Amino acid sequence: MKRPVLFLGVILVVGVSYLLMQTRNLETPQEKVLEKPEEKPLEEIPVRKEEISEVRLTIVYDNNPSDDRLGTDWGFGCIVEVGDRNILFDTGADAETLLANMQTLSIDPQKINIIVLSHIHGDHVGGLFGVLERNSEVKVFLPSSFSQSFKDRVKSFGATVVEVSDPSPITKRVLTTGEMGTLIREQALIVETEKGLVVITGCAHPGVVNMVKKAKKITEQEVYLVMGGFHLSGASDSQLRDIVKDFRALGVQKVAPCHCSGDRCRELFKKEYGSGYIEAGVGKIFDL
């Protein structure tokens, strides 16, 4: 009886050892797979294309000249290209001028996906219906305080109306500050770029400094550029100097005041910001 027991014992020991070896063999490749990404230096991990997509801003409507080929007129309008989205922020006072400028700049109105209206004034919404006649496959983001008749007219073209009250996303990397101000309700556009935030204002009736502060607060990011109408043509020198100081304190790196900012405002910002000041007018392009 001794021999079969010994034999069984040997079989058992060999069997268990074999199983243990198999388990270890199984574990080894798994550990390697898990370790691999940790070993790889960060620089070698490829950045996805969508994360590095560029942002281009083109002013298509303004009362300040920049490109001789284009018409100037009181008002503001800007095309924002982010990834595969084309946004028209404000539409100027008249569709004819807007569309002619866009044509000269080879911007096809059919390729606009989103329209954002800053506030109800005619020099910002006047060109809208002419654009909708050519392309109604758009979402129109407007302050919810706009009149029902205006909203109904936008819908009558077949466009989608998106009413804005609070700060909210518009598309990837683009947000609105939400409606601000009391008398004239207005929203500003915020674009997240590799360099920092870009804040685009229509007229900045609620105060351009307030709008920049709001953009910073919502996103918790630094501001690279503030561009658009600052609504400071009637401001005194001391008021203007305070605003320039506020911009510095807020860490704004570059400024491009146009439309209703006023000549003196542009002068003082230019003096303070030097190379951080960008002369803006219709046709000006910002690649970010």
- Applying CB under 5 A, which residues contact Zn ion? 121, 123, 203, 260
State CA 160 to chain mean position distance. Answer: 20
Pairing of strands 174-176, 168-171: antiparallel
SS3 201: strand
H helical segments located in the chain: 2-39, 95-104, 122-125, 128-134, 148-156, 208-219, 237-249, 263-273
The residue number with the shortest CB distance to Zn ion is 203
Give me the least distance between CB of 239 and Zn ion, in Å please: 18
C-beta closer to Zn ion: residue 121 or 216 = 121
C-beta closer to Zn ion: residue 87 or 260 = 260
Give me the least distance between CB of 181 and Zn ion, in Å please: 10
C-beta closer to Zn ion: residue 55 or 128 = 128
- Nearest-angstrom CA–CA distance, 118 and 23: 66
C-beta closer to Zn ion: residue 173 or 214 = 214
Give me the least distance between CB of 177 and Zn ion, in Å please: 16
Give me the least distance between CB of 207 and Zn ion, in Å please: 13
Q: Which residues make Cβ contacts (< 8 Å) with residue 5, sequence separation at least 6?
A: none
C-beta closer to Zn ion: residue 197 or 203 = 203
- Angle between helices 237-249 and 263-273 in degrees, nearest 10: 40
DSSP string across 72-96 = --SSEEEEEEETTEEEEEEE-S-HH
Give me the least distance between CB of 74 and Zn ion, in Å please: 7
